[in-house]
A and B are shown apart, each in its own frame.
Chain A
């Protein structure tokens, strides 16, 4: 865990407690957390430490996913600082591998084998290639993503870092922090960047 995140979270908590929205009742929340902590058992790779909130989760939980803007901005900057860029400096991989990765929703459950590679889970929530009609709608449609934006170095950096740590751009985004938590390796993220930005990818055809 990034020390900056913890420090920022600790500094923010008294302020947040004073401005809690109606939903996040502190008393019931405390009881819920105590209940959760006693009611789960470890299974497979899903160990009990997964029940604890990290700084970002705690702030999103306490504010009903709507933290005060100043705090969100500061913590998003901390999250962006966690992004590890590929050693070779290249951010675009193979869109065909990216497409395969986007199809799999596996990984990290108590039934899955520990370790990489896990799935990208992309189609669970996003429309991506027009050829795949079985897509979810929790996230925005990514059809024509590169066609609309081009694949400039800035766009590549944005997409890579967004997949690496979605909380760098929207602190309480529903999207997992795939690179940050070690679900996707840099090479895999590069393949997903290519899926979205490569002109040859079906996304942009």
Chain B
């Protein structure tokens, strides 16, 4: 992998930043959305996320942790130890060694704990990059690297596996579960086509098209704050806005939601890691 036009991309982001600031005020919504899409299409070949993928590659191949082994020589993402091509788009999947359905991020964490000897609590202490952090956590870079090896391959969550199917059905229930002070569920905002909050379009995660919009492009480099983030973070922030307590990192509930959404996008070709607003 090589970094293409990264300097040019970073300069262009300054322009995009002011564009986004204006959208909140008075640029016509459709026009603003179109401008952003155009910008994103131009930038897709020079995504700063490529830097994260490069760091992820180093981390994947390096002997690390108390057990001093590499993930490349110990971690099975479902297709055999060290095999990366197409692994991301086939997760969440059932892993016999863990007796659990796991999404990609959770599986990599599992490998870091079980194979390399890292402590889960240490990884879970700060799993996401904040706008004031100079770099992304190792786990984010690893997810970026793994996801990059599924570019151009269709989402293929195996719903024929009864264990995956059950988690999918539970995820559907989680998506529709209303609670909390505002009576919100995921589906309050993401349950019908064509809605938006303020200027932000809301994909309907129950539909193929909407679920595709929700999972496509993640993990992503996000222009807001200039941070690299994963779907685990996206779910965390949705629950925050839903006024729920905080979901535990890499938990069953998050896997269930990601199983539901990703499987709803089955068949669609993955393009990512991407750029998000």
Do A and B pair up? The answer is: yes
Q: A40-B248, A109-B241, A110-B245 are in contact. Are A138 and B189 (CB under 8 A)?
A: yes
A35 contacts B256, CB within 8 Å? yes
Contact of A28 among B26, B169, B185, B196 (CB under 8 A): B169
Tell me if B178 is interfacial: C-beta within 8 Å of chain A. yes
Residue of A nearest to B27 (CB): A133
- Cβ contact within 8 Å between B179 and A39: no
- Could you tell me the distance in whole angstroms from the C-beta of A203 to the nearest C-beta in chain B? 18
- In the complex, 23 of the A-B residue pairs with CB atoms within 8 angstroms, ordered by the A residue number, are A23-B176, A28-B166, A28-B170, A31-B166, A31-B170, A31-B173, A32-B170, A32-B171, A32-B173, A33-B177, A39-B247, A39-B251, A40-B246, A40-B253, A41-B245, A47-B245, A50-B181, A57-B179, A108-B182, A110-B245, A124-B198, A174-B188, A176-B182
Bound Cα distance from A41 to B23, whole angstroms: 35
Asked if residues B177 and A50 are in contact (CB atoms below 8 Å), the reply is no
For chain A, give the interface size range: 35 or more
Residues of chain A contacted by B194 (CB below 8 angstroms): 137
Please determine whether A40 and B245 come into contact, CB atoms closer than 8 angstroms: yes
Q: Is residue A5 within 8 Å, beta carbon to beta carbon, of the partner chain?
A: no
Asked if A108 and B188 make an inter-chain contact with CB atoms under 8 angstroms apart, the answer reads no
What distance in Å separates the Cβ of A65 from its nearest Cβ neighbour in chain B? 8
CA distance A80 to B231 in the complex (A): 40
Count the B residues whose beta carbon is within 8 Å of the partner chain — how many?
A: 47
Q: Produce 1/0 per residue, A1-42, CB < 8 A to B.
A: 000000000000000000000011100110111011011111
Binding site for B on A (CB under 8 A): 23-25, 28-29, 31-33, 35-36, 38-43, 46-48, 50-53, 56-57, 60-61, 64, 105, 108-111, 123-125, 133-138, 167, 174, 176-177, 181, 183
Nearest neighbor of B174 in chain A, beta-carbon distance: A32
User: Are A51 and B245 CB-contacts (below 8 A) given A32-B170, A174-B188?
Assistant: yes
Given known contacts A133-B26, A176-B181, is B197 in contact with A46 (CB within 8 Å)? no
Residues of B220-266 whose CB lies within 8 A of A? 239-241, 243-248, 251-254, 256
Per the bound structure, the CA–CA distance linking A32 and B119 in Å amounts to 28
Residues on A with beta carbons closer than 8 Å to the beta carbon of B177: 32-33, 36, 53, 61
CB contacts (< 8 Å) of B243 on chain A: these are: 46, 50, 108-109
- Could you mark each residue 8-29 of chain B with 1 if its beta carbon is under 8 Å from any beta carbon of chain A, else 0? 0000000000000001111011
Known interface pairs A32-B256, A52-B179, A174-B188. Does A137 touch B240 (Cβ–Cβ under 8 Å)?
no
Q: Is B67 an interface residue (CB 8 A)?
A: no
